[in-house]
Amino acid sequence: SLTLLHTVSIAVGQIIGSGIFISPNVIIKGVGSMGLSLIIWTVGGLLSLCGALCFGELGAICPKAGGEYQYVKLTYGRMASFANLWILLIVNSMAVAVISLTFSTYFLSLFMDPSYTHFETIKKVVAAVAILTVVSICMYGTKAGVWVQNGFTITKFLALLFLVCLAIAYLYQGHTEG
C-alpha cells in the first residue's frame, strides 16, 4: 500500500514537471529579462498553488474515489465527466510523450552531439524504450512503480535545486542582463 511519503512524492513529481527544464530558455528569450522571467515563474507557481488548493477543497467536499471525474460529474453531469476523461486520456498521453522525449534528449546529449545526423531517430527510440521500461516496472507492482517514482522525483528536485542555486550565484555575481 502507498504511504504518505509515496503519495507526496507522486504529487511533487507531477508538480515538478520535466518541462521546467526546457521552457525557461523560451521564456527568457520571450521577455528579454531574467528578472521578469523569474516573476513570471513565481506567478505561475502561485496560480498552480491556487489550483492545488482548489483540488484539495474539492476532495474535502466530494470524498469519493475518482478525483477529477467525480468533481466534473457532480458539477456538470455524467456526459461531461465522460468527455473529460477522454480529453485527459489524450492530453496525458501527449504529456508522457513530451516527458520521455525530454528525458531522451538530455540523456543522449551526455553521449552524443545533438547535431548528429540520426540524433532525432535515436531520441525517439530511446523515448519509446523509456516509456516501455516504466510501464513494465509499474506492471510488475505498485511498490516497484513507487520506488521508480520516488527516484525520479528526487532526481528532478535535486536538479531543480541545483539550477536555482546556480541562478542565484549567477545573479549574485552581478549578471542581471537578459
CA-based nearest residue to 27, from 44, 46, 15: 44
Task: Summarize pLDDT for 68-86 with one digit per residue, the tens.
Answer: 788 888 888 888 888 888 8
pLDDT at 178 over 60: no
To which residue does cell 528569450 refer?
29
Identity at 39, one-letter amino acid code: I
pTM value?
0.63
What does the alpha-carbon distance between residue 40 and residue 31 come to, in Å, rounded to a whole number?
A: 9
What does the alpha-carbon distance between residue 110 and residue 123 come to, in Å, rounded to a whole number?
A: 12
Identity at 152, one-letter amino acid code: F
Task: Summarize pLDDT for 10-65 with one digit per residue, the tens.
Answer: 777 776 766 666 667 777 788 877 778 778 878 888 887 888 788 778 878 877 77
